[in-house]
Each structure stands twice: as C-alpha cells, then as structure tokens.
Amino acid sequence: MMKKIIFYLAFCLMGTSFVAVAGDTTATLRGNAITDDAYPERMPTIENDDVKRARNYPMQPPTIPHKIDNYQVNINVNKCLSCHSRRQTEESQAPMVSVTHYMDRDGNFLADVSPRRYFCNQCHVPQTTAKPLIKNTFEDVSASLRKDKEKHRRETASVRKNKTILVGDEPTQPLLQPGFPDHGRIHRRYHFLGWI
Amino acid sequence: MGGFIAGIIFWGGFNTVLEATNTETFCISCHEMNNNVYQELKTTIHYSNRSGVRATCPDCHVPHKWTDKIARKMQASKEVWGKIFGTINTREKFLNKRLHLAQNEWQRLKANNSLECRNCHDLEFMDYTRQSKRAQAAHSTRLESGEKTCIDCHKGIAHELPDTAGVEGF
C-alpha cells in the first residue's frame, strides 16, 4: 500500500515538472499566456538599402538587399532577371546571377538560366528589420578557423615556455614535448614548396 | 433661344455620358475587365497603399486633357466592337490576346511619353533624396535626360505581364 502511494506521488511529481518545463519554453517564445490573445507585433519592414551582406558560409545564396514586392516570377516573365540576367546587367548595373545558374545538373552550360534555377525565391530572400526571437550563436567557418589558429598559437607558445597547456578550464596533455621543434608547424608553413 | 437651350442640353448630356464612361464602375461592369485586369490591379500599390491614394482605370488608360480624351474615346469604339463580338469573353481568349493588348498600351504610353504616369508622378516634384539608391540612379540619369520614359522600365506594375519573350527590357 505504502509502495503504491509513493509510486503515485512520484508519478504526479514527474507530471508537474514536465508540464512546468514545457509551459516555460512555450511562454518564452509566445510572450504571453497561452490563454490570452496576443496583440500582433508590428510588421517588420523590408531592408531596402542595396547594401550587400556577407554570406554566412561560402555556398549561401546571397540575400536580396532590396524590396521585391509584386515581382512576377512565373511561366511568362521573371522580373528579377529583367535586371540580373546576363543580357540586362550592363544596363542595370546589377550583379549578374552566378554562372552556375546557367548550368544544367550535369554541368552543361545553357544559353539561358536553367529551369531548375529559375525560381529565385526558392533560395534568395529579402531581409526584414525583425529582431530574431532566439539569439543565434552560429559562427562562420573563417571565424572558427581563426579561433583554431589562435588556440594553436597559444598552445605552441606555452610549449616553448615549458608549461603545461590549459585549454579553457580543463588541464590537457602538452601537445609537444619541450625541446622538440614543432614539425607540424614547419610543414604547414612550407608545404606549398612541396609541388615546386 | 430654343437652339441655345437645346445646345446646353445636348452638350450637358454628352459630357455627362462621357464622364460616366470614364469611371472604374463603368469599366468593371464588363466581366472581361472585372475578372481579369481589375483583380490583378487589386494586389498592387496603385490599388492599396499606406496613404490611401489610388489610381482607377481611367487615371492610367484615358488621357485627362479633353482633346486627347476624345481621341482615345474614339479609338475605344473598337473595344465596344470587341465587347459585342466577344473577342476576349473567356479567360483563354483573353490570355491569348494579352500580349497584343499589352503592346497596344506600351506603345501608346511610349508615344505620349508616359503622359498618364506623369499626371501624378511629375519629375519636377520628385525628391531623389527620398528614393532608394537604385531609383535615384535611374531617375536622375536616363529619365531626366529623356532617354527613357516611365513605361520603358515600369511595365507590368499594375497588371500581370504576358509572355515577355522577345520584349525589350526582359
């Protein structure tokens, strides 16, 4: 009997904690209680300053730095290409769509934009002034490489000083024995000579 | 005296009828206009926008000056013919004829230097500093020099475009 009561109590506790957690996360994004009707946020405006934005990774489709309201892209016409196509860029001075857009999937070049790349908005989108709901901790590849390099520099520097390396808060093994030259580093620095 | 009164009645009547045919209500009383071009207009900035100023059919398609207006109205008698014989009385017929109809309007606006656009959008009063960079660049050079007119770049802003293969600027 006692066992049964304890079991039920534990079950109830588990239940409540689960609901509480779920409720918290939902409320954070929602901004109001689930039972209340929210007042709609102001509509964000489209950024229209024609300033090119950095790409977050090399193959990212560039975002559109201008308004595209009512741009017709269908079987009859592609409004984007009326500035960005190969033929139109001289007059419009807009960036030409990448040559990859003139290739079919086997890599053959076509006279005009490939049908599979025709619908610009499948990949390219304008940006609004809206604030992100959740902070983005994304780090692009160059930033993480730079960090890596920096970390390596610190490690080799501390080796030279005959010290044990500390990465973050955790003590680790020294990468190299003191007194030995850093062959890896030399190799990296001069490896371009390899094919001369 | 009788002739004078008859003149007033005739002229008043003529003008009233002329004005009545120069309204959007009149234009979209035909299903050809209501079901095709009017529905497309509704999604554009010339129908709904922040300040609530809007263009109706005759604002863009009929000249405002009396002589030009009468000339256009006489041309429009061909459209009455088209209505009677059902030239575009189905969606398919309309779509087949769409390029031809659009070209008529493009030519008309090209010939009169986009007069109907300029009835509202007067270059004299355009403040480039309030335009986007691209708009500034285009308006202050090719529009201002007269090399281009509004319709050269702004085709299909109030209605959908037909198949533009071969049309200059696409």
B132 — contact with chain A (CB < 8 Å)?
yes
Cα–Cα distance, A135 to B121 (Å, whole number): 44
What's the pLDDT band for B148 if we cut at 50, 70, 90?
Answer: very high
CB-CB contact of B62 with B72 (8 Å): yes
Tell me which residue in A50, A81, A93 faces B132 most closely, judged by beta carbons: A50
* Closest among B159, B59, B61, B53 to B119, alpha carbons compared: B59
Task: Tell me the ipTM for this assembly.
Answer: 0.83
Q: Where residue B79 sits, what CATH number does that domain have?
A: 1.10.3820
- Best to test chain A binding among B151, B163, B170 (most A CBs inside 10 Å): B170
Per-residue pLDDT band for A195 (boundaries 50, 70, 90) equals very low
Q: How many CB pairs under 8 A join A and B?
A: 35
CA distance A30 to chain B (A): 29
B55-112 pLDDT, tens per residue?
999 999 998 888 888 888 888 888 888 899 999 999 999 999 999 999 999 999 999 9
Average pLDDT, chain B: 92
Residue B43 domain flag: yes
In sequence order, which ranges of chain B are alpha helices (DSSP H)?
Answer: 2-20, 24-27, 31-32, 39-41, 57-61, 66-75, 77-85, 91-111, 115-118, 133-138, 150-153
Enumerate the domain spans of chain A.
1-40, 42-130, 141-195
Instruction: Assess contact for A70 and A77: CB atoms under 8 A.
Output: no
Q: What is the pLDDT of residues A42-82, one digit of tens each?
A: 889 999 989 999 999 989 999 999 999 999 999 999 999 99
What is the number of structural domains in chain B? Answer: 1
Q: What is the mean predicted confidence (pLDDT) over B30-37?
A: 94
pLDDT, position B66 = 87
What average pLDDT does this structure show over B113-139?
A: 92
C-alpha distances in Å from residue B71, one per residue of B23, B63, B64, B67, B129:
17, 9, 11, 6, 38
- Averaged over B136-164, what is the pLDDT? 93
Within 10 angstroms of residue B98's Cβ, the number of other Cβ atoms is 19
CB B131 within 8 Å of CB B67: no
Do the domain assignments include residue B143? no
Q: What's the token pair of residue B169?
A: 């600027």
A48 touches chain B (CB under 8 A): yes
| Any B CB within 8 A of A76 CB | yes
pLDDT score at A147:
93
Is the pLDDT at A146 greater than 90? The verdict is: yes
CB A164 within 8 A of CB A176: no
Chain A residues with beta carbon closer than 8 angstroms to that of B160: 72, 76
Superfamily (CATH) of domain A42-130: Flavocytochrome C3; Chain A (1.10.1130.10)
With contacts defined as CB-CB under 8 Å, which chain B residues touch A75? 163
Do the chains contact at B133 and A70, CB–CB below 8 Å? Answer: no
A33, A27 in Cβ contact below 8 A? Answer: yes
Instruction: Say if A124 is an interface residue toward chain B (CB within 8 Å).
Output: no
- Collapsing DSSP states into helix, strand and coil, what is residue B164? coil
pLDDT for the residue numbered A22? 47
Residue A131 has a pLDDT of 86
Span A86-114, average pLDDT: 93
SS (H, E, C) chain A: CHHHHHHHHHHHHHHHHHHHHHHHHHHHHHCCCCCCCCCCCCCCCECCCCCCCCCCCCCCCCCECCCCCCCCECCCCECCHHHHCCCCHHHHCCCCCCHHHHECCCCCECCCCCHHHCCHHHCCCECECCCCCCCCCCCCHHHHHHHHHHHHHHHHHHHHCCCCCEECCEECCCCCCCCCCCHHHHHHHHHHHHHC
Answer whether B48 touches A (CB < 8 Å): no
Which are the contacts of A33, defined by CB distance < 8 A and separation ≥ 6?
A: A27
In A, minimum Cα distance to B169 occurs at A82
For B42, the closest chain A residue by CA position comes to: A70
Inter-chain touch B163–A93, beta carbons under 8 Å? no
Domain that holds residue B68: 2-121
Q: How far is CA B23 from the centre of its chain?
A: 12
CB contact under 8 A, A76 and B160: yes
Q: Does A89 touch chain B (CB under 8 A)?
A: no
A45 interfacial to chain B (CB closer than 8 Å): no
Per-residue tokens: B130: 């309030």
Two structure tokens written together for A18: 């689960």
Phi, psi (degrees; rounded to nearest 5) at A37: -85, 125
**Token code pair at residue A134:** 């959740």
- How far does B58 lie from chain A, in Å, by closest CA? 22
- Crossing angle (nearest 10°) for helices B66-75 and B77-85: 30
Contacts of B87 (CB under 8 A, 6+ apart): B81, B93, B97
Q: What is the pLDDT at residue A112?
A: 92
Query: Considering the domain boundaries, does residue B131 fall inside one?
Result: no
